[in-house]
């Protein structure tokens, strides 16, 4: 189980290598993705809070990266954080997500990206439910349900 300390270690030292790497040019991504998905995933955008019904849906399933299809989260780790974005306590695999310090907007956060294609997903915070205490706050447009 990932913990905040392990996430901080990943920020400093890097994450385990992904099973595969997907590399495309900006032009190739633009052709594949809708404008909204491109903005969120390739330009580190953020959708409006409570703009997706995904926040209140808790059906079993797996969530994958909207860009490359890498499996990222299991719905069994999803919870209602009341933050306005889908929230999870753990990724499917330790090497599915990459972590980077984000000091934009006059605050310090940890950005989470798909470790396979570098798509911006959202951020992770140490205020989630036990036992991990993690809250992966994810843009719904960066995910697709499998």
Catalytic residue set:
137
102 close to 37: Cβ distance less than 8 angstroms: no
58 close to 88: Cβ distance less than 8 angstroms: no
CA dist 71 and 91 (Å) reads 9
Strands (DSSP E) contained in 9-134 are 62-65, 71-74, 78-79, 87-88, 97-102, 109-114, 120-125
Tokens of 54: 């995904």
């Amino acid at each position: 189980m990932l913990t905040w300390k392990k996430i901080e270690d990943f920020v400093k030292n890097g994450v385990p290598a992904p099973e595969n790497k997907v590399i495309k040019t900006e032009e190739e991504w633009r052709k594949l993705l809708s404008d909204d998905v491109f903005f969120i995933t390739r330009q580190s955008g953020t959708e409006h809070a409570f703009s997706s019904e995904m926040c209140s849906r808790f059906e079993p399933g797996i969530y994958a990266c909207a860009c490359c299809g890498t499996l990222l989260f299991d719905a069994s780790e999803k919870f209602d954080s009341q933050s306005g974005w889908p929230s999870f306590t753990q990724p499917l695999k330790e090497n599915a997500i990459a972590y980077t310090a984000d000091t934009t907007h006059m605050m310090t956060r940890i950005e989470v990206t798909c470790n396979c294609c570098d798509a911006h997903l959202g951020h992770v915070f140490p205020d989630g439910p036990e036992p991990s205490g993690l809250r992966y706050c994810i843009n719904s447009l960066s995910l697709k349900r499998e």
